[in-house]
Amino acid sequence: MIPVRGYEDQTIAILGLGRSGLATARAALAGGARVVAWDDGPAGRAAAEAEGIALADFSRPDGLEGVAVLVVSPGIPHLYPAPHPAIRAAMEAGVPVDNDVGLFFRSVALSDWHEMDRPPRIVAITGSNGKSTTSALLHHVLTEAGLQSQLAGNIGRGVLDIAPPPDGGLVVLELSSYQTDLARALTPDIAVFTNLTPDHLDRHGGLGGYFAAKRRLFAEGGPDRAVVGIDEPEGLYLANQLVEGRGDDRLIRVSVTQKLTEGWAVFARKGFLSEYRRGRQAASIDLRHIAGLPGVHNHQNACSAYGAARCLGLAPRVIGAAFETYPGLPHRSQVIAVRNCVTWVNDSKATNVDSAARGLEAYPRIRWICGGLEKEGGLAALLPSAGSVVKAYVIGREAEAFAMQLTGIEAEVCTTMARAVERAAEEAEPGDVVLLAPAAASFDQYDNFERRGEDFAMLVEALS
């Protein structure tokens, strides 16, 4: 646990009592603060009461009396589409609003760091797609290299729930736009930007606000080094903002659409990762046969993780060897079975059009299980990537409406996952890939994308 610093004998209010909220409460108490908390759901309040945490409804008059800071969980809107009543009350009363990530960066540097031979370093990774895989891959590389690494944030454990990093220790944080948008302190040693595609637009007031939330990771504290994907205009702009000239080695640019030879760059083309520095090739890794990194989208993740590992001083051969043993993440291009020469892949994390498109581009002949709670914008942007789809099996409560948008693709309305798996198994031929890449949220039928992926895996396992 990272005890919260700077609020000794003061009152911290915590709004939202899920994983991060409860971890924040414990860390605040460990740091000597008083804690009051609230959750709009009875289950969250019950969990807090079971740990002896005092409750108070902050949206009521005087609900924030004597409070030094309001700490908000990531899922609670603070600006768009409208602030939560408790957050509005805090802003009107002049109470600072923060989150656990802000408290982490404020608290993680302990007084004994100056006595260490190698002070701990923090790598923070954000972006629209691939940040979970990039974070997990980098953590895997560091661990395989014999370094002490902890993985936290939007993946793994809450940021305040990890152990204080030791001499030479490393912390890899995956940070969502919800987390970077509100944190009052953001000071990683290395910051990584994977890419940008439309997502969470209602929470950020549009694409510009979404990008601005991501950009805060690079603008607020100023990382020592940055790794930035430049295949979208926003990434190209961000990279330009971070350098003083072409030879500025504080930045590594990343691409999977073009060869990069200026400055320090990492790119992937035709399955080969290349590193260029000062106009010369420094290293190359063949990614084509690495089972845990299929497809161009994972090659982009590999480039981002490689760049961060190089910033930390790892040799290319060490990184390449660790890539070979990377097992992949659950629900992210995860091969769960190969039966009768048919491969079953769980990409339940593909909850938006762009991430699903990347999965569809990774395999040559696909039977596609898709559907769920559709996000704004429709499916038209997905269709150019669906050329390898033999047939779609559509699930979800609005499966028929979803299927009608799949112009030019044979689609069968299955509604349930069980029916979709059954039909795909009946029709799949040797060499086919049955891919769960929903291109939609899970909440119409499942609590989260993990539960959706687990259901898919269980049904595949049950096939005779």
Show binding-site residues for ATP: 127-133
Which residues face 123 on adjacent strands? 172, 190
- DSSP letters for 99-118: -HHHHHHHHSS-GGGGGSSS
CA distances from 297 to 231, 242, 407 (A): 12, 24, 24
End-to-end CA distance of the chain: 46
CA distances from 257 to 66, 378, 463 (A): 54, 25, 39
Region of 132 on the Ramachandran plot (φ > 0 left; ψ -120 to 50 alpha; else beta):
alpha
The whole-angstrom separation of Cα 374 and Cα 399 is: 10
Residue 160's CB is within 10 A of a number of other CB atoms, namely: 26
- What tokens were used for 225? 């080094």
What is the amino acid identity at position 332?
R
Annotation: binding site: 127-133
Region of 100 on the Ramachandran plot (φ > 0 left; ψ -120 to 50 alpha; else beta):
alpha
Q: Which of 283, 309, 150, 130 is nearest to 227 (CA)?
A: 309
Which residues face 413 on adjacent strands? 394
- What tokens were used for 240? 């330009």
* Residue pair 395/372 in contact by the 8 Å Cβ criterion: yes
Which residues face 276 on adjacent strands? 265, 281
Q: Which of 207, 223, 230 is nearest to 377 (CA)?
A: 207
* Residue pair 306/285 in contact by the 8 Å Cβ criterion: yes
